[in-house]
Structure 1
Amino acid sequence: MLTKKKRSNIVYGLLALFFSLVLFFNANGSNFQNSIATSEVHEETAQDIPVSIEYDSDEYYIQGYEDTVDVTLSGANRVQLNAEANEETRNFDVVADLSDLGEGTHDVPLEVENLSNSVDASVEPDTLTVTIEKKATRNFQIDTQEFEDKLQDGFELDETSVSPQEVEVTSGEETMEEISRIAIVSDIETINEDISDTFSLQAVDENGEELPASLSPQTANVQLEVSAPDKEVNLSPTQTGDAAEGISDFDFQLSENSATITGAQHLLDEVDSLEVPVDVTDVTEPTTRDVNVEVPSQLSSDVNAVSVNITPEFENSEPEETNDNTEETGDTQTPSDADNDNAAADGNDEQNSEMNTVESSSVEEETNTTEEDQEQTAESQETQETQEEAQETQSSVDEQIDAQENEEETER
């Protein structure tokens, strides 16, 4: 039988074991939960990562490879994963080591270096196909034939200036033998005006296909001066729009009546004049407007707009006849009016009557003279004599009036 003391020791031992287990699970339970929580894996894709190639650049020239790849990153540490995915904070590089390879075409495995231990990476594609050649360097003149081929029909290239005139080309020995010329890269389809611009350069073969090569410099400044046939044509105003009521026609006066057009000869042959469309809507009085000249496509003109004076012509507007009769009669009546005023002031009815008689006689003579002038306009000499007689009659009337005034003063 167990003694009381032994039973107590067993109980104490069991209690100690129990508390030991409780403490153990309590201490390791949080770590277990953390391990479960951190088992989630995150992924990020870094695109267009440049490939760093290690080779002897003094002896070899390499070509035919893709210079960027995509890298898929994965890891449980979200912070470190984002740091590697971000271009500004990443530490890793994608490297292709060609150091132990010679001339020819090779498939080289790609490796990711300097990547954080908490992040894994996979590269797509995971190999690089590259051609290794012996390095060669030559100078080439820049070819401008492309611009001459793009001249519009009828245009001529007067002067061409390229700076620099030649470039240094570096490539493989075999590729260098295939280079035919250094071409200017341009998206210009047709040249019909002077050009001054900077263009990219590329090495091409005899078929115009681009070849792998390094150029120094990679661009050139090009200045072209071109000329073309020209022709002088008339500017022809044409009426557009609706005329206002009561207006039968319009008179157009242009600030320029001709223009010089430039372009291909076959296009010039088809043009005899340029239209100037003048809108007469709401024009009811003399108006001046600036109007664009219509120039056919692929042609240019030294006059693109003109000023047009627009004068409306109204219906039933005939020139009024010159009323010489009225003017002459008015001149004759002037001294009569002065005489009547004097006679009224003096109160002499008899003299007033005589003056009126003389005045009527003078007016009749002048009226007859005017009628004779109108009937005998073709006989200039007789008209002149009639006018002289009228003047003499007027002078006689003036003398009679002066005599009467003198007699009145004497009587007084």
Structure 2
Amino acid sequence: MDKYINKLIENKWFIRVIALALAVLLFENVVEENNSVVNVPQDQESEVIEAVPVTSIYDADNLVVTGVPETVKLTLSGPRANLQQALTQRGFEVYVDLTDAEIGTQEVEIQIRDISERLKVSIDPATITVSVQEKVTKEFNVEAEFDSNILAEGYISDIAIVEPNKVTITGAKDVIEKITYVKAPLDVTGPINETIKRDAEILVLDQALNKLDVLVEPSNVEVTIPVKASTKTVPINVVQSGTLPAGVTIESIRLETEEAKIIASEEVLNRTDSVRVELDVSEIEKDTEVTLPVIISEGIIAVDPQVIKVSIRANKTEDRTFSNVPIQIEGLPEQYEAVFQEPSNGSTSITLSGNSGDITSLTASNFRLYIDASDRDAGEHEIEIQVDGPENVEWKLARETVKVLITQEDEQ
């Protein structure tokens, strides 16, 4: 038996078979150990990332894409180490590839790249519907938008000035065709009583006043709203009150300015024809200058000037009587003679009234009293007395008429 074993051991093929068997056993042992290492369970975790930006890849020079969300939500699952690396470095990119997209509406998948293959990724939403349109650029006029109700009472605005008054708008062809209004709304609070100038952001709207998603260049313009007072120029009337002192007369009243500018609503302006100052004459005895407020009616907001100087020229009057002033007979033909019957002395009294300075310098010779008998025939007549005298005084006769008897000379 030993001899047989020795021969077997000495056989080289036997040795080779034994070596092969041992090698196979060793290999299986190594593989089993490796498998046990790979299959060692590791910690698995999940993490949700909100508001992850989405990149759109397309021909931005010629196309406009809508419908791509700005952000999406990611759910990452996998080994803790890989998950923490993704959360910390954020080296991944979420994108929509539209390089081969056609004009129109289509459904596309949202993808992610540059993330560990050991992580499971869920994107919400996973697919989206996008619209790919031809890019169009067009120029539009800009209209300022301003709430006139914030103007202060009595103020109005002229047409708004927009600089620049045209903008260039770029967007999808179908969106550009919907543009109905291009406005520059002015955001101000009132009340406003002066010209305002503000920057305003351009607002692009369709017919239903929905805001359109377009690119505007420039996006802001300068808007000027000229604001001015609603005014009217009217005369200033003088209204006298009180009673003049005895013997005082007013020769003239002169205003520093005869017109005033009033500020009011259009309705009030339309019904206002004048303003006034009230002059109390009860204490005026000589030339006087006073400052009076300009009085306005209800609804008028302001007046310019608010006060004015009023110059009053006044005289204190005096009465003076000249008695027995002779009455002349004029126009009597040569063949007639006339004799006064009433008054028999052919004279009467005249009482003067006027400025004391003017009256003091006068005498009876400054007045001529006469009757006109040129159209009278023989007989008894009552004729009105006429007076020639200075123009700066008033006078009154003791009687207004005389009685005369006219006769022919041959009748005597």
Which of the two has higher C-alpha Rg?
2
**Structure 1-normalised TM-score?**
0.44
Structure with a larger share of its residues in helix:
1
